[in-house]
Chains A and B, each alone.
Chain A
């Protein structure tokens, strides 16, 4: 699939508490933004993929939510749901359709309206007894505590991730939380699930993002310089790591496997990546993920952050957008939003948060936690 698929247009809504917008309105905002960016008419779309994790009263249960939002009918539309990797997996599926030659121009759209559900955002699903009491921060905290116990990390190191990503997000007018935070604020915030305080957690967010992709050999017909899909990987491991007696809780095997697939397809290694949009639902997640993606050895992610090497001007900038931490995490939208950021950076249009002369960018989601990961590598055409 390497170099066979090009991104020719991207769009993204303002992320945040979008009480005034419905689910379908967010979809329309992102999609028409992307149409305009690509300079195409809706009629040119051959197929579409909708990434939504959680169907709500406003829609999202099936692909028809995209069809109705855009009045896009009589062509294939598929809903993709794969935990927090929903957005990147929707993108990956769109790429597969183009690479397979069954569609020339595909719309990939991720959308989520979490705020309509009230304060806690994500309801608990699953078995009524087993693992009851779990929460998203609590599940990642299980891994964080074991990791921190093993490698001797403190909350101070986690706080560095929040400070960095809030700094980047403050530069981004579409980000949900556009304010800087200090390490002291992060450390003193109320505890959500130890070791995570409020500022170690990404917010619950509404938003939508879109990407339009096409066959690379036809990309030059459209108005923007294309960005090429270099590689994509997806891996699933157990969704119940807490019942797996062999799991060490020091990182996520699914990320390691998805990264291997994406790097192999792209013919590159982690050292070739110029910047990365990395799943940072919680501060610890970013530290562990940059290890699993191969940017450093296991146990050294904290040092990479402390040394500033993941900052905007570091040698491997991580989450120049502000990440889930600051940009927000409307689950199904996040992965497509990462594609949006990668394309914007590779085009050199990221403004104050622009990474210097990037050739290769990487987008990564992990959900579950650890159950499913998706990695996409994008490069300048």
Chain B
């Protein structure tokens, strides 16, 4: 059996109440909130977060491919999948590829992963989709979009949703676009785009996939449609012969916004929170045509359900002003001094800085970081062996700094004792006032640390476990 073995969603902790946008521009906005990636987040970091959540306690060595999907990748040239695979400690032999170009690519990459496993070419594949798309200020799209990520593991063992069928449509249709010189997403006349582009193509792909699966539309338990808005999703569902009220997986629109490439995958995860074994689930992605995949929930699902999205949405940090929203999205200049991480340092320290491997002393057993020749505990020479550090720990001591040359103050800094040994000293991100104290439990997250030498530099930070 080939199918989904694990699935997880990542949503940034920052949330913007849409009334802030309404008040800023004097416009009417739909109620609810949208997620906002922080200044230290981008699709690369959110993909790492989603993959770590998806892996949970699984051994990364068991995966042989990782596909990164984004329409808003931090790099136009330089592969991100390999960074995500390295930061999540996948093997060096992992097959890696980046997908993009359209928000459709999330479901398209999932199809490629499923086909690869079904063909016997790959055993276990991770698909990590993440987007942080920018809209024009004051545009109708600005309150609609959200930032986030989803990761899906595909394999043959302990499948929670069996892959049944797939269908695709290819049609040139200009609905959303962004040229190589534009930072913000452009959109055609929305009513035309939603009816003649989205609803037509998605319904066609869903209908074809269900026909292949020999599943009548009325039997679908959950229809996970990554759509520009709920009305458009409902129109596509109806055209595919489904009942939107009963069969559509509730959109993320009011709590998170439209996520882009990860959106249908996040909805699929949401449907797997409650699906019963035997339920048919359909996921579809749109962009210049559509892809639709049909899954059947298995008996293994109840024991391996994804963590509820509601859990991940709790403890939001409010973005209280439009200025702070612009700053979080990197749209106002922020001064961050820093030294470039040369390719040489990056290459030499890859295991230490990206895989987060420390050392364990074979003489005295002390786990330590960073990697050195002589043990800090017993001074034994060259008895230190590579040791993968845990990504959870406790704050041993801390400060809340207002002086550091970073873009956002105050900056909590913490000395962290990791589970299983090793001590780190890291910036703490996504923390509300008063959350960082001696004894605070934290987990590690891979973030954008600073820019220097014309490049972005990523490293680990800590965040409070909530």
- Residues of chain A having any CB pair with chain B under 8 Å: 120, 124, 128-135, 137-138, 141-146, 149, 190-194, 238, 240, 242-246, 249
Question: When A129-B457, A132-B450, A243-B423 are in contact, do A193 and B438 touch as well, CB less than 8 Å?
Answer: no
Question: When A245-B366, A245-B417 are in contact, do A133 and B423 touch as well, CB less than 8 Å?
Answer: no
Interface pair A190/B405, CB less than 8 Å apart? no
* CB nearest to B439 among chain A residues: A149
Interface pair A133/B411, CB less than 8 Å apart? yes
Give the contacting residue for A143; candidates B397, B404, B413; CB below 8 A. B397
* CB nearest to B416 among chain A residues: A242
Interface pair B427/A133, CB less than 8 Å apart? yes
- Residues of chain B having any CB pair with chain A under 8 Å: 337-341, 345, 353, 366-370, 376-377, 396-406, 410-411, 413, 415, 417, 421-425, 427, 438, 449-450, 452, 457, 459
Smallest distance from the beta carbon of A125 to chain B beta carbons, Å?
Answer: 9
Interface pair B376/A244, CB less than 8 Å apart? yes
Smallest distance from the beta carbon of A131 to chain B beta carbons, Å?
Answer: 5
Interface pair B367/A245, CB less than 8 Å apart? yes
In the docked arrangement, what's the CA distance between A254 and B195, Å?
73
* CB nearest to A196 among chain B residues: B399
Which residues from B are CB-within-8-Å of A124?
337, 405
Closest 5 CB pairs of A and B: A242-B425, A141-B399, A146-B397, A194-B400, A128-B339
Smallest distance from the beta carbon of B307 to chain A beta carbons, Å?
Answer: 30
Which residues from A are CB-within-8-Å of B401?
133, 135, 137-138, 141, 192-194
Interface pair A128/B403, CB less than 8 Å apart? no
Which residues from B are CB-within-8-Å of A240?
425
Smallest distance from the beta carbon of A67 to chain B beta carbons, Å?
Answer: 32
Interface pair B415/A135, CB less than 8 Å apart? no
Smallest distance from the beta carbon of A144 to chain B beta carbons, Å?
Answer: 8
Interface pair A132/B367, CB less than 8 Å apart? no
In the docked arrangement, what's the CA distance between A131 and B457, Å?
14
Question: When A124-B337, A141-B399, A243-B368 are in contact, do A134 and B423 touch as well, CB less than 8 Å?
Answer: no
Interface pair B341/A133, CB less than 8 Å apart? no
Residue contacts A-B, CB under 8 angstroms, 11 given: A132-B338, A138-B401, A138-B403, A142-B413, A149-B397, A191-B402, A194-B410, A238-B376, A243-B368, A243-B423, A245-B376
Interface pair B403/A135, CB less than 8 Å apart? yes
Question: When A141-B401, A245-B422 are in contact, do A133 and B337 touch as well, CB less than 8 Å?
Answer: no
Smallest distance from the beta carbon of A30 to chain B beta carbons, Å?
Answer: 29
Give the contacting residue for B413; candidates A134, A191, A249; CB below 8 A. A134
Interface pair A142/B411, CB less than 8 Å apart? no
Give the contacting residue for B459; candidates A129, A134, A143, A145; CB below 8 A. A129
Interface pair B370/A243, CB less than 8 Å apart? yes
In the docked arrangement, what's the CA distance between A71 and B390, Å?
58
In the docked arrangement, what's the CA distance between A325 and B411, Å?
24
* CB nearest to B377 among chain A residues: A246
Which residues from B are CB-within-8-Å of A132?
338, 427, 449-450, 459
In the docked arrangement, what's the CA distance between A124 and B405, Å?
9
In the docked arrangement, what's the CA distance between A143 and B415, Å?
10
* Known contacts A142-B413, A245-B417, then 16 further A-B pairs from the complex at CB < 8 Å, ordered by chain A residue: A128-B338, A129-B457, A133-B411, A138-B404, A141-B399, A142-B415, A144-B399, A149-B397, A190-B402, A193-B399, A193-B402, A193-B403, A240-B425, A242-B425, A243-B425, A245-B377
Interface pair A128/B452, CB less than 8 Å apart? yes
Which residues from A are CB-within-8-Å of B337?
124
* CB nearest to B339 among chain A residues: A128
Smallest distance from the beta carbon of B340 to chain A beta carbons, Å?
Answer: 7
Interface pair B404/A249, CB less than 8 Å apart? no
Which residues from A are CB-within-8-Å of B421?
245
Which residues from A are CB-within-8-Å of B398?
142, 145
Interface pair A194/B415, CB less than 8 Å apart? no
In the docked arrangement, what's the CA distance between A145 and B413, Å?
12
Give the contacting residue for B415; candidates A191, A192, A242, A246; CB below 8 A. A242
In the docked arrangement, what's the CA distance between A245 and B353, Å?
18
Interface pair A249/B415, CB less than 8 Å apart? yes
* CB nearest to A249 among chain B residues: B397
